[in-house]
Amino acid sequence: MPFRKIHSYFPFPKLFRMLIFLSIGLQLIVISQMYFFRRDIFSDPVLVMIRLFRGTVLSFLAGIIMAYPFLNLIRYLNVSLPWKSKAIKRFCIQFPLAIGVGLLITPVILIPAGLIFAMEYDFQTLINNSYYLIVLSLFLMVILEALMYLEEGSIAKIKADNFEKDLSVEAASKAILEVKAQLEEEKTIAALHMIEQEKLLNRNLEQEIRKREILVKELDESRAQLNNIMSNLVGAAYRCQFDESYTVKYISEKIFDISGYPPSDFSNNAVRSYASIIHPEDTEICRTNITEASKNETSYDFEYRIIHRNGNVVWVNENGKGIFEKNGEVAYLDGIIIDVTRRKEAELAIAESERNYKDLMDFLPQPIFEMNLEGKIILSNKAGDDFFGPLPDNPDEKVSALDCFIKEDIPRIIENFRKSSLGIKTEPGEFTAIKKDGTLCPVMVFGNPIIRNNKIVGRRGIIIDISERKNYEVSLLDAKNELEQINNNLEQIVTDRTKELTETNNELLKVQKENLQSQIEILKQQVNPHFLFNSLNVLSGLITVDVNKAQLFIDEFSQIYRYVLETIEQPVTSLSKEINFMHSYLFLQQIRYGENLTFSVTIPAGLLEMVVPPLSLQVILENAIKHNIVNESNPLLIEIFTDGQFLVVKNNLQPKISAPVSTGLGLKNLVKRYALITDMVPSFKVETNHYIARIPLIDTENEEQT
């Protein structure tokens, strides 16, 4: 109960006088008690007066501190636990609480008093003072309750006096009636009948008064319950008029948390109107929604912005309905206002992340797709639109993925999709796609299921155009046939065509070298889609969990793919660039594995300008992560350092129980790429529970001289 309400019920001067007299009386009792046990104190009258003054001040301060909680407690208990019906419960609550408050107030009073009056307390003094403060607490509790009952008794006495006056007037009326009855005997029966009726009326009146008192009590309890309910609502409940200012008749305390202004500011536009804090751009939205709902006599539900007291913009959701008069006019608007700023900011952040995700997909040169469980394409990037044609503008119209491939490939596509829907991993496959211009194109399709909330909802994949690789395969086959024909005739023309054969063999070696280079480039492109697809899966799950980390993931992923695009046509790249690429690659892997994947890099600055084939480290690191257990109990540590003119990648060996089938394609590819540019050979071996990969560092100046 606020101080103002307490003093309106129990005046402060009355409380002040009572505490002064109680404090002086208690100190006189204490001094009297001390007289019998410590008479040596009374040898110094000044000391006695100081003790009396100090004790009175401390007792008064303790009384002030205890009075307000006691007044609130008694006021509350008078309503919920009256003495007449629940005396034992009152006793079990009030007296232990009074003793507990006395004990609690002891250090609160004595510690500051000791600092102010330079007093020193021993244990016995603390016990004595605790005893006095407990007595003061009990006395104060009893006196306050007695005074409150006395106050209520005074009010009841005034009511009784008024009732007695009414009875006196009534008695006088009855006397007059009796006199008239004596004078007029013929009216006696009628007079007695009127008296009986009046008595019955009085009884009915008393019953009505008692009923009204019960109703008043129930009304007070209902108001208290309503206030508790309003304070626990997630939003601010209100009632206002439908005018230009939305004049507020009532609004709950929750409006302070939402707008920063107390409810009293808005009540009848005391300080400001609610319309004044609505964002200027949303004023018309509010007016239109409420007007439309009022015309149809339906509820309204819409979102808009308000200006917080600190100047920030706050998004709110308002839901309410008009209360109509008999003539159909809106009398009031009743509703609730809820702060939805966090939800709105999250929606905007998710929309921004989705735009970034779509921009990244459009940046990629390969077609990327997503389709639902029915095999309908629901998402495609710009490369996909250029390859197969754009998706329909109407979201209800879907294109079947089967329409994009020839009939011979449809059974295999359906089988892959069936396995994906069951969570079974599928290998990349070669298919013949139908481009938007109707031409056929051989493609390699990589795909995995889309999992959301631990449920498979579709399939996501990437399509690689392998027309160039197919052309190389045809060229290789022609070269093979030509070589076989030459070999078949070699014995017959060996003498005459030795020189021609030598030239042919040289030309064939050149073709084989070019073909090998082409195969390497194709294999490099096959590595990239795997990594791209896995990264997109991680990014898809990360967007809904941590938007900021997803943005950082996109930035690092962009750096990786930019590096891939820049170096895909280059036979070698500098070690410094490869190390930077490695940091970005391991950052993305640490998003997936967390602290279970760690690495260290120790490379002298003088070796950073040496060169290696691009994506060499990615092949080795991906091989280490793919074939080893990476979890909290078995963390994977990768060390990268140099040994002479070799770059060493070392990791602890902890093979997976069900390790994926390894073709060795990546490491074989790396060895072949080194064979094209140097005589130095990479090595890969297991040594004392560690897997060690050693790849040569190439000095471009020495290579050019040789």
592-621 residue pLDDT tens: 788 889 999 999 988 888 999 988 888 898
Average pLDDT (63-80) is 69
8-43 residue pLDDT tens: 556 667 767 777 777 776 766 666 666 555 555 555
The larger pLDDT score, comparing residue 262 to residue 560, is at 262
For residue 247, what pLDDT band results from cuts at 50, 70 and 90?
Answer: very high
Q: Where are the domains of the chain?
A: 3-164, 233-339, 348-569, 572-706
CATH superfamily of the domain spanning 572-706: Histidine kinase-like ATPase, C-terminal domain (3.30.565.10)
Does the pLDDT value for residue 705 go beyond 60?
A: no
On average, the pLDDT of the chain sits at 76
314-331 residue pLDDT tens: 999 999 988 888 888 888
Does the pLDDT value for residue 463 go beyond 70?
A: yes
- Tokens 């390699």 sit on residue: 444
- pLDDT attached to residue 506: 62
- Global model pTM greater than 0.75: no
132-181 residue pLDDT tens: 667 776 667 777 766 766 766 666 677 767 777 777 777 777 777 776 66
The larger pLDDT score, comparing residue 633 to residue 500, is at 633
For residue 588, what pLDDT band results from cuts at 50, 70 and 90?
Answer: confident
Taking CB atoms within 8 Å and a gap of at least 24, the contacts of 475-483 are 475/511, 475/515, 476/515, 479/508, 479/511, 479/512, 479/515, 483/508
Helix (H) or strand (E) holding 68: helix 45-80
Show Cβ contacts of residue 139 under 8 Å, excluding neighbours closer than 6 positions. Answer: 22, 26
For residue 424, what pLDDT band results from cuts at 50, 70 and 90?
Answer: confident
Average pLDDT (208-229) is 69
Q: What is the CATH number of domain 348-569?
A: 3.30.450.20
Q: What is the CATH number of domain 233-339?
A: 3.30.450.20
Work out the angle between the directed axes of helices 498-543 and 575-593 (0-180°, nearest 10). Answer: 40
Which CA distances in Å does 192 have to 168, 170, 174, 357? 19, 14, 10, 98
Q: Do the two domains 233-339 and 348-569 of this chain adopt the same fold? A: yes
- Dmax (CA) for the chain in angstroms is 174
How far apart CA 483 and CA 505 sit, in angstroms, is: 9
CB environment 482-495: b (16+ within 10 A), e (fewer): eeeebeeeeeeeee
The tokens for 79 are 């309503």
Does the pLDDT value for residue 250 go beyond 80?
A: yes
